[in-house]
Amino acid sequence: MSKTRIQAIRGMNDVLPEESPAWHFLEAQFHAVVKRFGYREIRFPVLEQTQLFKRSIGEVTDIVEKEMYSFDDRNGDNLSLRPEGTAGCVRAADQHGLLYNQQQRLWYQGPMFRHERPQKGRYRQFHQFGVEAFGMPGPDIDAELIQISATLWQALGLAESVSLELNNIGSAGDRNAYGQALTAFLEAHASELDDDARRRMHSNPMRVLDSKNEAVQSVLADAPALADFVSQESCEHFEALLQLLQSLGIEYSINPKLVRGLDYYNNCVFEWTTDQLGAQSAVCGGGRYDGLVAQLGGRPTVAAGFAMGVERLVLMLETLERVPESYRRPVDVYVLTASEGLSSQALRLAEAIRAQCPGRGIVCHCGGGKYSSQVKRAFAAGASLAVVLEAAGDNAPLSVKIRQLAGSDDVWTGELSTIPAEVARLLGA
Ligand code: ATP
Ligand code: MG
């Protein structure tokens, strides 16, 4: 009886070996950049109390209303797979006393889960790199965060393909006043709105600004502007940030429609977008969230951060062919045997070559087989050199050949002891 094969969950991807070089390149550059800025890694669980996300992201957001993977565990506790990293980062940092009276520069990475409609660049399990800075109230830290992301785009060769949008969404108080004005405006135009907008105009009117519906957008053309409700203090902070960005040579544009999908943001928010990915244009988003730590029960601690979407950046790196060749070549040398019974010599020779060529991939053929099929495997592995061990006859020393696989088919012959150094020379190691 045939059994149906179990498939992966929709929207949850396997990353296959041929895709991993782009991930590795991205991870390596991200790790190098955050290190250069003095950030330290924090890790926290994939599962948290559902309440953590409700209280941080906001009850009336898409994420909490309809995208979370929530369930009761065997103890009856309601848990959720994390849909983003900031809430867990704040929870962990506060729980372990990292926040009170301190400054912290932290980063994290890992999978996030949102039950969205899967499409190119939008998945149900996706990965983020995130950076969070605590205890620094000024616009200097906001500028630093943007500088980190800009440095990463340079390192990845993506700087020409992304652009920075900023907005000042004001303090929580400013937004409250604005929200009331916006609700009143939307109520007056309720008949021209769609169901989604009508539902949100009371619960979370600012989310209506994000609507993808053109009819709703045309109503919004005459809506009150948030900018008119933003306090003097917020405006000064934002102006100072713009000055800092100019002095750093970072170009930006102001997008008054940028509100972000999470409720905890205040003052400056930003997003890096690209025209390389179709509809899924945002590759990185962030901003200040000065109220969140207190909102989650910690002592008031100002904060700012950003998160970037790994899959979208990987797509960009692949499309624009930015992944260096060195990341694509896992195997440089393939050691094989032309006679039977040479396994132990082959394994030891491969080990000696590894010692001589650090950082290179040296595969020792396993599983036997004919010489010709071993050579085929060496080609399939993408090796540039094959090292061939051959028994020359009873009591005669082993003959060892190095065969060039890429480019020419030159052959060198040598003794076992001299081969590792010769391989290193040929690889330029
Ligand atoms: P979008 O507007 O594309 O839905 P978002 O505002 O929901 O993005 P954030 O919550 O700010 O995104 O997350 C930061 C980054 O994570 C985004 O800029 C994006 O690159 C990435 N991201 C968000 N949701 C997904 C997803 N479902 N699949 C893949 N990447 C995602
Ligand atoms: Mg989203």
pLDDT in tens, 274-295: 999 998 899 999 999 999 999 9
Global pTM reads 0.91
Question: Atom of ligand 1 at shortest distance to CA of 282?
Answer: 18
Whether ligand 1 lies within 6 angstroms of the CB of 420 is answered as: no
What average pLDDT does range 301-318 have in this prediction?
Answer: 98
User: Ligand 1 center to residue 278 CA distance, Å?
Assistant: 14
Residue nearest to atom 19 of ligand 1 (CA): 309
- pLDDT attached to residue 1: 60
Q: pLDDT > 90: what percent of the chain?
A: 81
Q: At what angle do helices 232-247 and 139-156 cross, to 10 degrees?
A: 40
Q: How far is the CA of 88 from the centre of ligand 2 (A)?
A: 18
Determine the longest span between alpha carbons in the chain, in angstroms.
Answer: 98
Q: How far apart are CA 84 and CA 287, in angstroms?
A: 14
Q: Report helix angle 50-57 to 86-95, nearest 10.
A: 110
pLDDT in tens, 142-170: 999 999 999 999 999 999 999 999 999 99
Query: Which ligand 1 atom is the nearest neighbour of the CA of 63?
Result: 7
Give the ligand with the smallest distance to the CA of 62.
Answer: 2
Average pLDDT across the chain, whole number: 94
pLDDT of amino acid 188: 95
Ligand nearest to the CA of 122: 1
Q: Which tens digit of pLDDT belongs to each residue from 357-398?
A: 999 999 999 999 999 999 999 999 999 999 999 987 777 778
Atom of ligand 1 at shortest range from CA of 62: 7
Report the separation in Å between the CA atom of 282 and the middle of ligand 1, taken as the mean of its atom positions: 7
Per DSSP, which regions of 83-204 are E strands? 104-113, 125-134, 162-168
Note the pLDDT of residue 294. Answer: 95
Contact 311 CB / ligand 1 (< 6 Å): yes
Report CA(117)–ligand 1 centroid distance (Å).
Answer: 12
**Which of 104, 154, 103 is CA-nearest to residue 131?**
104
Sorted by where each starts, the structural domains of the chain and their CATH numbers stand as 20-171+231-319 (3.30.930.10), 329-427 (3.40.50.800)
pLDDT tens column, 259-278: 776 778 899 999 999 999 99
Nearest ligand 1 atom to alpha carbon 114: 27
Q: Which structure tokens are listed for 284?
A: 């990185």
Residue type, 283: V
| CB of 263 closer than 6 angstroms to any ligand 1 atom | no
Minimal CA–CA distance to 154: which of 81, 225, 249? Answer: 249
Residue 313 CA: which ligand 1 atom is closest? 20
- Ligand 1: residue whose CA is nearest its atom 12: 285
Say how many Å lie between the CA of residue 261 and the centre of ligand 2: 7
Residue 211 is predicted with a pLDDT of 85
